[in-house]
Structure 1
Amino acid sequence: MGYYVNVEPGVKLYVEDLNPGGSKTIVFLHGWPLSHKQFEYQFNVLPSKGYRCIGIDWRGFGDSDKPYHGYNLDRLADDIRMVVEALKLTNFALAGHSTGGAIAVKYASRNNNYGLSHLILIDAAVPTGFTKQTAAQLLNESLNDRPKMMRDITDMFFFQYISPPFADWFFQTGMQAAGWSTAAIIKMLSEFNLEADLGTINVPTLIVHGTHDKVIPFSQAEEMHRKIRNSQLIPFHYSGHGSFYCERDKLNQLLQQFVK
């Protein structure tokens, strides 16, 4: 079931809500520059196991509205809070991949862990995102040849083999975003630092990270683990930045074991 939630005047976010009657709820936040569709291989499995799975497209991405403003962590986290309140969610797990992981951490910190039972960080861009050099290169490519940038991102994202049709699907998912929001998030990813936010998390936290990640190095996962109380780090030895697909069966099993 899909619907829209108003998060501010003139801005609506698209929400995919699977198995609303499920006994446990997991809210999924996608990575840059994707959408809730990246979690297809979680949504294929978890609702049939009794989980309510909610995928939210951030502003500027997927099927959500694409305004020219609001592309900073505080606003993106506040958007999630608006959806949480609109859906009256309580005792839910929040799972964020890559930049979605940064938004999840900011949500927990900014809202005193409001409504959270668990936090799941998948190849998260935490505590920092891109280096200045990487961001400058991606920003230039995004503003001048976004399709080439997205193709290059696809090529470096996965450690396991992906078929050409899958690569095309992934590419098109990224191209569904607006050009201005894609560029704005690149800039954001070079500016934030969430080290201070990590100490405010007080819910059980699962950290999943590909050891072959070329986008966000595994050392950042180790730093998260050191700084988040009551966290566990599970290395994914056969994954790059796309562990949600490279080791999808393992991730699905872990999510079921963690969120009971």
Structure 2
Amino acid sequence: MGYFVSVEPGVSIYVEDINPGGSKTIVFLHGWPLSHKQFEYQFDVLPTMGYRCIGIDWRGFGKSDKPMSGYNYDRLADDIRTVVGALQLDNFTLVGHSTGGAIAIHYMARYNGYGVSKLVLVDAAAPIGFTKETANKLLTEALNDRPKMMRGIIDTFFFQYITGPFSDWFFQLGLQAAGWSTAAIIILLRDEKLDADLQKIFVPTLIIHGIHDQVIPFAQARELNQKIRNSQLVPFQYSGHGAFWEERNKFNQLLIQFIG
């Protein structure tokens, strides 16, 4: 089922709640500039195995409201905390991909991991996001030819072959976002760092990262592994930035094993 949760006056966040009666809960945070729908190939499988899967569209993306403000890690983490409270979630696994991984890290630090029993970081854009050079290039494209920017992202996103129809689907996910929120997150990834947050994570943490990732270098996964206590790093040998799709069977099985 899908519904909206109000996070502040005039701003509601879209939540997709699949198999609400499931025995264990997994909350998914998508990457920039996509939506919860990027996890389709997890939502197809995990609920049939008894898991409750919750996909959250951040403000400005997917089906959520698209205000002009609030695109910083504090506010984005606050939105997640409001959703967690509204759904009365506890003892759940938090999965964050790319920028969603960065938001997950800040949520853990800002709210002492409220409700989270385990953390999964997938090609996380942390502790840093984009270099200034990359960010400024993307920002120029976002503000002048956003469809071209999105095509360029797809070209570097995957290591494995993707079909034309799949590329078109992924392209449309990115264009669901507002132009201003797309640009604002580029600035966030350029300017905000999360180094101080890493030492505040205490739950068991699984780090998944494609060794061919051209968006967020694999070296950053090693750094996360070194700085987050009780973490384990699993390299995905045949993935770029999209391990959740490129090696989806391995990804899903690893997630199940980690959750237990």
TM-score, with structure 2 as normaliser: 1.00
Deviations 1:201-234 (A, max 9, x none): 0000000000000000000000000000000000
Residue 192 of structure 1 and its aligned partner are, at CA, apart by: 1.3
What pairs with 1:116-135 in structure 2 (closer than 5 Å)?
Answer: 116-135=116-135
Q: TM-score, normalised by structure 1?
A: 1.00
Match for residue 217 of structure 1? 217
What is aligned with 2:44? 44
Give the counterpart letter for 1:112 in structure 2. N
Q: Tell me the CA shift for residue 193 of structure 1.
A: 1.2
The equivalent of 1:140 in structure 2 is 140
Match of 2:3 in 1: 3
Q: CA deviation at 1:185?
A: 0.2
Matched, 1:22 2:10: no
Deviation of 1:168 after TM superposition, in Å, equals 0.2
Summarize the alignment of residues 223-234 of structure 1 with structure 2, pairs less than 5 Å apart.
Answer: 223-234=223-234
- Structure 1 residue 74 and structure 2 residue 90: aligned? no
The letter of the residue matching 1:5 is V
Show the counterpart of 1:158: 158
Q: Distance in 2 between matches of 1:75 and 1:224?
A: 23
Q: 2-side partners of 1:68 and 1:196: how far apart?
A: 28
Deviation of the 1:113 alpha carbon: 1.0
Runs of 4+ in 1 over 3 A off after TM superposition: none
Give the aligned partner of residue 183 of structure 2. Answer: 183
RMSD: 0.4
Instruction: Give aligned pairs, total.
Output: 260
Gaps of 5+ in 1: none
State the alpha-carbon separation in 1 of the partners of residues 131 and 81 from structure 2: 28
> How far apart, in 2, do the equivalents of 1:47 and 1:229 lie?
30
Give the residue type in structure 2 aligned to 1:77.
A
Deviation at 1:59, TM superposition (A): 0.2
Which residue of 1 is the match for residue 192 of structure 2?
192
